[in-house]
Structure 1
Amino acid sequence: MAYVNFYLDKPFSDAKSRTEIKHVIADCNKAKKHYPKSILNSNLTALYLFFTPVKGSRLKIRTTIKITPEHWDFRKGKYKSTVPGSLELNNELENLSSNLKKKFILYKESGSSLSAEDIKQFLEKFMNGDAGKKDGTLLRARETFLEKKIGLLSEGTLKEYRTVFKSLSDYELQKKLTLNFSSFNQSFFESYEKFLIEKKNPKQKKEGLLNDTIAKYTATLKTFLQWAFENGLHKNRSAFSKIKTQIKKRSKNEIVALMERELMDLLHYDFSGNERLEKVRDLFCFGCFTGQRFSDIMNFSKLDFDGKKWDFIALKNKKRVVVPMTGFIANAVPIIEKYSKGFPVISNQKFNEYLKEIGEKVKINNPVKIVRYRGTQQLVFTRPKHEFMSSHMARRTFVTLSLEKGVPITIVQKITQHADLRTLIKYEAHSTEALFQSFKNT
C-alpha cells in the first residue's frame, strides 16, 4: 500500500545551532508539545510531499504550497487545528494525498513500469496536473502577501495588515465559518462592519471599534483583495471593486497639537532626575521642531546632518527630505548636539506610554473635546491634552506651529512629505490662536 506524508523544507531558524534545535525538539516530543517559535523559521517555507509507493522506496517532490512553520503540527504532519481555516487547508492536503494514491493504483493496474525513474515521472506529472494549480486559499494568500511585502512596506504598514487579517480570523471564529475569496461581497462587508462595531476595543476598554478605524480596516482589506486578484489568486473582482461600505472615514477630525508655549514649557522642564523621561521628551521635541515621522527620527544619523541641514531618505516613501536647521527648526540643533553618540532607541509603544506620563508632569492639562462615531452613535470624549500625546502629535505640532508662523503650506509639505496637500489644509484653521492672529491687523 502506498503512503503519503508531508514535510516542511526549511522549518527551523538559521540563528539556532543544530544541537540546540535537537535538544528543544527532544524535550517537546517528550512532553508532546508544539515546537516553540524561538527555533522556527519565521518565513514561509515550501511543503514537500514524501511518497512511498512500495516498501523500501520513498520519493519526495516539492508542492506549490508554502507554509509558515508556526502553523504546522510537526507530529501529525498537517496544519495545527488552531490555525484559522485549518479544516479547509487540511482537507486540501488530504484530497491531494487521496488523489495521488488513487491515481497510483490506476498507474500500476495499467501495467506501467514500477522503476524508481518511472514512478518519479508519474509523480511529477501528477503534481503538475493536480497540485500545480494556482493556490487559492485565503490563509495562504495572506501569508504570501506578508512575505512578499517585507522590505517593500514599512513595519507599521505591515502591522496594519496583520491586524486586519487577525480581525478576519476573529470574524471566522465568531461566525463559525471559513472564509474564502468568493465570500467577499456586499453582504460580507456589511456583516464585517457590524462585527467591528461590536468588537471589543482593548485600547478603549469598550465594546466596538470607532468608525475611522473600521473605515481603515475595510480599505486595507480591499487593497489586499485587489493585490490577490492581480496576482491571479482569485477571480472575484467585485470583492474590492463594487463594494459600497456603510461606514466612511470622517474627512475632518479634531487636530490635537501643542501650542508653542506648551512646547517650550516641555522643552525646558527639568527631567535631570529621570533619564528615561528626559530622553523621550528630547526625542518628542525634536519631532515637534522638525516635523518628521517617528521611524525617521529613530533612524537619525549624524552622517545626514552637516550643521545646517538634515538631509536623508524617508523610510516610508523613500523620498529625499531636507530639513533646514534655521529659525524655529533650529531649536532641534541642541538636541542633536546633546546626543552626539546617537539618539536613544525606544519602541513606539513605550515612547507613547512615557509621553503621557511626561505631559502629566509638565501639566499639559487643557481639556480637549473629541467627537467620534461608532456606527450611528456619537461619542464625545473630554480629556486632558496629555492623554492624547503620542509620537504623531509631534508631527501635528510642527505643521500647526509652522502655519501659524506664516510658513507657506507648500513649504511645510516639502518638509513633512505629506502626499496630499489636502491633509495639510485642515490644519490651517485648527488653532484658535491662528484665527485671532489672522484678524489682528484687519
Structure 2
Amino acid sequence: MATIRFFTRTITKDKNLLVPIYVRIKSGRKVDIVSKADILIKPENWSNETQKANQRADVFKFYSGEFRDEQKGRKKFNDRITELRSYLESELMQIKQEDITSEWLKTVIDKHWHPDKYKMTLFSFIQTFIDKSETKPNPKTGRPVSYKMRREYEVTFKYLKDYAASKKTVIDFKDIDLNFYDGFIQYLQWVPSDKQPISSETKSDQIEGKKLAVNTIGKKIQTLKIFLNAAKEEGKNTFEAYRSKKFVAMTEESETIYLNEAELTKIYEHDFSKDPINEQIRDLFLVSCWTGCRFSDISQITPENVSDGFIHMKQYKTGKKVLIPLHPVVTAILNKYMGKLPEVTTNQQFNRALKDIAEAAKIDEMTHKAITKGGIKVSTSYKKFQLVTTHTARRSFATNLYKSGFPSISIMAITGHVTEKSFLKYIKVTPDEHAKKLQVHWDNRHLKVV
C-alpha cells in the first residue's frame, strides 16, 4: 500500500524566507517519487514529524499573508494539508502502480489546487468514455464492450463534433436541452430538395443535413443519452434537460425481411459444390436460421457444446445461458463437417456472400422497403435476395416458429428477448397473418355458435 509523507528540506538562515512543502509517495520497491505540494511555509513553523503546522506558527506568513488570524489560519492550513492527502489517496486508488510517476504526481497536485484547469467538458468526457470502453467490462456480461458498440460511440461523437463545428460553437453539458435536441435532429435529417424549398431569409441559417434515416438518428440520440447518463452517475453532469419526455430517441418500424421454410429449403437444396466458400457460408447461415444463434455465437457450436441432441451455450451479447435443440438440418450440417463447423468469416464478407447465395437459390420475390430520410418517406423495390443479411437468420428462426404456433415465451428463451412486446416487434408477421392465426385457433377449439 502506498504511503504519503509531507516534509520540508530547505535549510536557510533567513527566518522570514518561505520554503516549499514536498510530498513523497512510496509504494513497494519500485515507487518512490517526490514533488512540491505548491504550499509555502517558514521552516520553523513546520513539523516534519507531525506533518502539520506547529503550535507556534506565525500563520500570517504561510500563504504570503493570506491568513491574518493565527489560530484560524493554522487550522485552515492544516485542513488543506489533510484535504490534499485525502485527494492523493483517492487518486492512488484509481491508478496502477506502474503508472505512478513524478509527472503524474505533479499533475494530480495541480489538479487539486486548480480544478477549473481540468474541468471535464462534455467532449472530453465522451472521449474518455470511449477510450475506457475498450477495456471496461459490460456489467451484464463481464466482457468488454463489443466493437460494434464502440464504433457506435465513435460515430455519434463525430456527429456531435461536426454539429458543433457547423454552429461554430462549443457544446457542453449545460447546452444539452430541447433547443439543442431540435437543432441536432435537424442537422442529421434535413436535406434540401424541391419538396423542401428554402427561402432567402432562412437559407443562411439552415445547416446542411447528413441524410440519416429515422432509426439511425434515434440510435444517435440513444447513444448520446448513454454518454450523459454515465456522466451523471460520475457527478460530471448536473444538468437534466435531456431527461425530458420530448428528448426522445425517435423510431419507425423497420421493414426487414425473413425467409420462410420453403425459401430456406431452396437454399439448403441448391448445389454449391463448385463454390466451396459460398457452400460453407450457406451452411453457417442455415445453422443460424434453425438455431436462432447470432453471428457472434456460431463459433460456439463445437463438439464440446453439443450433447444429447442439444446445443449448450452462453450468448456472447447477453451472457445468458441457452439450451437449443438440434434441428434435422443442423444435425446434417454438423455431420457433414464432423461436428466442427467452418470458421466464421467477417460480418461484411458474410453479408456480401449471402446475397449471391440467395440469388443463386432464386430467392427473388419482389419486396418493398420504405425508409424516412431527410423528413421524406421513400419506398424502394428490391428483389428479396438483395436484403438478406446475417440478421435475417435469427429473424427467420423466430418468425417461422411463431407462425407454426410455437409459444412465444419458449422462442424468447432462445432469442433472448426480455418482453413479449419487443419480441412481437421483432418478428415479421402481417396483420392478415395474425387474423388467420386467430381463425385457426378458433377452428381447432371447435367453437359452436349457440
TM-score, normalised to structure 1, is 0.65
Letter of the 2:330 partner, please give it. Answer: A
Q: Which residue of the partner structure matches residue 151 of structure 1? A: 137
CA contact (8 A) 1:403 1:428 kept: no
Runs of at least 5 residues in structure 2 that lack an aligned partner in the other structure: 1-21, 26-36, 41-60, 66-101, 139-144, 193-208, 444-450
Report deviation, 1:425: 2.2
Report deviation, 1:140: 2.6
Residue by residue over 1:269-288, the C-alpha shift from the partner in whole angstroms, topping out at 9 and shown as x without a partner, is: 11111122112111111111
CA contact (8 A) 1:282 1:335 kept: yes
Q: Which residue of the partner structure matches residue 130 of structure 1? A: 114
CA contact (8 A) 1:292 1:395 kept: yes
Q: Which residue of the partner structure matches residue 165 of structure 2? A: 173
CA separation of 1:61/1:145 partners in 2, compared to 1, >3 Å: closer, same or farther?
farther
CA separation of 1:383/1:123 partners in 2, compared to 1, >3 Å: closer, same or farther?
closer
Report deviation, 1:231: 0.8
CA contact (8 A) 1:211 1:247 kept: no
Q: Which residue of the partner structure matches residue 124 of structure 2? A: 140
Give RMSD over aligned pairs: 3.7
C-alpha distance in 2 between matches for 1:352 and 1:286: 15
CA contact (8 A) 2:174 2:239 kept: yes
Q: Which residue of the partner structure matches residue 192 of structure 1? A: 184
CA separation of 1:134/1:127 partners in 2, compared to 1, >3 Å: closer, same or farther?
closer
TM-score, normalised to structure 2, is 0.64
Letter of the 2:383 partner, please give it. Answer: P
Q: Which residue of the partner structure matches residue 406 of structure 1? A: 405
Report deviation, 1:132: 8.8
1:17-416 mapped onto 2 (5 Å cutoff): 125-131=109-115, 135-149=119-133, 150-152=136-138, 153-198=145-190, 208-238=211-241, 240-242=242-244, 244-245=246-247, 248-250=250-252, 252-325=253-326, 329-339=327-337, 340-374=339-373, 376-416=375-415
C-alpha distance in 1 between matches for 2:434 and 2:410: 18
C-alpha distance in 2 between matches for 1:371 and 1:193: 20
Letter of the 1:348 partner, please give it. Answer: N
- Number of residue pairs matched by the alignment: 328
C-alpha distance in 1 between matches for 2:407 and 2:379: 33
CA contact (8 A) 1:193 1:247 kept: no
C-alpha distance in 2 between matches for 1:192 and 1:295: 33
C-alpha distance in 2 between matches for 1:437 and 1:140: 54
C-alpha distance in 2 between matches for 1:283 and 1:134: 51
3-state DSSP of counterpart to 2:307: coil
Residue by residue over 1:277-335, the C-alpha shift from the partner in whole angstroms, topping out at 9 and shown as x without a partner, is: 1121111111110012111113433321114111111111111111012xxx3321222
Residue by residue over 1:315-374, the C-alpha shift from the partner in whole angstroms, topping out at 9 and shown as x without a partner, is: 11111111012xxx3321222233334431211122112111222222211111122223
CA separation of 1:135/1:292 partners in 2, compared to 1, >3 Å: closer, same or farther?
farther
Letter of the 1:154 partner, please give it. Answer: S
CA contact (8 A) 1:193 1:214 kept: yes
Residue by residue over 1:198-232, the C-alpha shift from the partner in whole angstroms, topping out at 9 and shown as x without a partner, is: 479xxxxx961111111121112112211111112
C-alpha distance in 1 between matches for 2:247 and 2:364: 38
3-state DSSP of counterpart to 2:220: helix
Runs of at least 5 residues in structure 1 that lack an aligned partner in the other structure: 1-58, 63-99, 112-118, 201-205
Q: Which residue of the partner structure matches residue 430 of structure 2? A: 430
CA contact (8 A) 1:281 1:358 kept: yes
CA separation of 1:293/1:135 partners in 2, compared to 1, >3 Å: closer, same or farther?
farther
CA separation of 1:124/1:391 partners in 2, compared to 1, >3 Å: closer, same or farther?
closer
Report deviation, 1:255: 4.1
CA contact (8 A) 2:125 2:231 kept: yes
Report deviation, 1:143: 2.6
CA separation of 1:271/1:227 partners in 2, compared to 1, >3 Å: closer, same or farther?
same
Larger Rg: 2
3-state DSSP of counterpart to 1:312: strand
Identity rate, percent: 27
C-alpha distance in 2 between matches for 1:163 and 1:324: 39
Residue by residue over 1:56-87, the C-alpha shift from the partner in whole angstroms, topping out at 9 and shown as x without a partner, is: xxx9999xxxxxxxxxxxxxxxxxxxxxxxxx
Residue by residue over 1:386-427, the C-alpha shift from the partner in whole angstroms, topping out at 9 and shown as x without a partner, is: 111111110110011101221111111111111221122243
C-alpha distance in 2 between matches for 1:222 and 1:437: 39
